[in-house]
Structure 1
Amino acid sequence: MTRTSTWQQILDPSHRADPYPLYTELRKTPVVRVEDGTYVVSTYREIVSLLHDPRLSSDARNLPEVGADAAAHADEEGFPGLPPNFIRIDPPEHDRIRRLLTRDFGPPHRPGRIDGMMPDLLRIVTSLIDDFTAKDGSGTDGSGTVRVDIVDDFAYPFPVAVICELLGVPREDEPRFQVMSGAVIETADPTTGGLAERQRRRAKAVADLGQYFAQLLDARHGRRGDDLLSGLLSGDSDEAPMSHEEILSNAALLLVAGHETTVNLVTNGMLTLLRHPEVLDRLRLGDEPDLAARVVEELLRYEPPVQFLSSGRNTLDDIEIAGTTIPRGSPVALVLASGSRDPDFVPDPDRFDPDRDHNEHLGFGGGVHYCFGAPLARPETQIALTQLAHRLKNPRLVADPPPYRASPSLRGPRHLLVEIDGVDPA
């Protein structure tokens, strides 16, 4: 089996339920050039090295044929272009925008923002689980067998409600931005076309979301609240504020990234717990105060929502790594999920073990682009899984493996059907 055929199998939807044996094969050659010219990096230490290497750029405009082609297509289609969001640019521009976003998201300026959201997170989760009893004719006392879809009935609406509240987006707009968000996510899938084509489609999808946020901001006209968008509009900072276009581009990113990856993390988490009932029972008992946190960290290593980073990453200079020279101007894919299961770094990597010591993983990436939303995604998932474990009576999988989403990079079940014998009171 050649390395290129291994990568093609990883991209093939038929292997979505369990790509990990393929990652084992891929790691035999830590850095490999695949059919489309991308250099795929699959081992932990090499991935960490590149995540911290300033010669690896996240700005697709450093590939002239991509940037120019995307701009020309934008003009032809007649929609306004937006600047790249902060995860698609390099320092120092990246650092300025990230600092401005952080002012209204967390420390040092808003140290209590996330902690202050905890009661609302619990309220949303409690309401969603309460609604399970209304399905399939089950009584409100929780009696009777109920079939629920953990994705549609819980893991999707929960982070959507949270990110809407954080940003100040009307919850009733969800059907509208779901379509636009899905279009953005699709462009991260390397099986849906070449890089230049996906950059064009991404520009169109982000522009659509930008137009949505432009209408939303125009409707406010001074009626600003305590949400993140209001904070960005206030421009209350010692450094140059974001332009209107930068606000639109980064608001679109936060809306998409703020729920899509958490959906997968919660769903992958519940699937993993149902496959490991001994851990689910421990979580249900509630005798270990730090167990939920350890479960989530192990999930980020064992079944991460983001499998690899690829779109737009390219080398600004020749980089020699693991005996291979990646030439200047080459696209690079970092297979985070493979690195987190690298046996040269993690003992017994294919075992789900929330009790492992020194659990280091790549579930939130690393370097300057370490996941901005990690401080929120962690407690979201901890609360979600804890409440599901506490309240669902005798949960069991309807199908294993469940059907998966098409994307190989943002990996998670499309549906996760679970039967329960009702729910316990909150």
Structure 2
Amino acid sequence: MLKSRLYELSLFLTAVAIAFSSSEILADNTSFITAIIVFWFFSTLYFRLRVFYKNGNTNIEYGISYDLSFVLFAGPLGLFILETIYRFTVYFYRKWKKIADPNEFFDTFYNIGTFVITNSFVYFLFQHFHSSFQSFPFGYWVLLFILVCISSYISGAIMVLLFGTIGESITFKEGIHFIFKDISFLDYGKVAITNGLLFLFLQEGKWEMIISLFILNYIVNLSFYSKSQSIQNKLERDQFEQMAYTDFLTGVFNRTFMDKKMEELNQTSEKIGIVVADIDKFKRINDSYNHAVGDKVIQHFAATLKGYLSEDDYLFRSGGEEFTLCLRKRDFSETADLINSILRGVEKNSVEVEYNGEKTSIFYTASFGLYFYKINELTSIEKAYIQADELMLQSKQRGKNQVSMVNGLITKELV
């Protein structure tokens, strides 16, 4: 922790040295103060639209920066003043809202140091190469694009060094990947064009254009931010829904989702095979080994069943060692053949478990009940499930490791 604090403070002190050793503020006092106010206001407003990515104990901030245009306009000292005012505004706001991280104070010095160092470096590059790039078409914009890329890479390298000081485990390959992170050239282009226009307007004192550009940029980014939040919220809702409908042990759908899906299928009139499958003599497995081994057998059985199904089929864990299958888009003969194949597959395969420190192969069988019919008003899918369950019990009574089946299309419908 001490090393990281020293590293952050060293960046800040380096930024102080660069700022005060460079030339004075390039802009006149009136223009500089006006620019400070405008850039500070919109940067602060834009801050809440930034995206944060957590790497270990470190929060990494992504978002468009206006520092390049400001450093070209006011020089490193001017940028240092802007960054200091802006960063401490954000810090005190987050402290006031009680959302500041424990390391926020030192992170403020890190951010000031990093942004001043990287943008001061590209400022000196701009001063050196600007006249050379003016000799060919769009040279100004090409130079700005290159400078944006360079500043991003330097910022990434500084962050990688920070990871090393705080003890974050990162390989050389990971460090290189982080520096040249997956930011598209379109993002670099957006930053270059925005800062390029701002610098041109600053030079000409076109404050209406500057404010309009800031407002336009804010509206566009607010729209993207709102859409990204909506997508994120939907992903979170889908994740919670998936958790609510997934059996934690096997990863297949649970009884809650089975009830929901059966209600939906009841609204159709499709031909469907309802299958109830139950592991034979499962209590003996638990008694002979333990429940951990029993769980492994259940997981193996679920994976075996799932391996035979198509994307149109459904598999649910409807009880302890009982599973229910909804087999769709097949005729009776195809459905019966599939269940017989599953029966033979379960019988031939074994599950590898560890018991008393040794690996053991456990063979097991299962009993199946299949009720095949066309969904209609007289026979709901819930009634078909009960029939399939009764057929599974018949398989148990007949000696287990069997399939009992009924084709409801050629027998009397259940009432």
Assess same fold via TM > 0.5.
no
Higher RCO (CA 8 Å, separation ≥ 6 residues): 1
Q: TM-score, normalised by structure 1?
A: 0.25
Larger Rg: 1 or 2? 2
Q: TM-score, normalised by structure 2?
A: 0.26
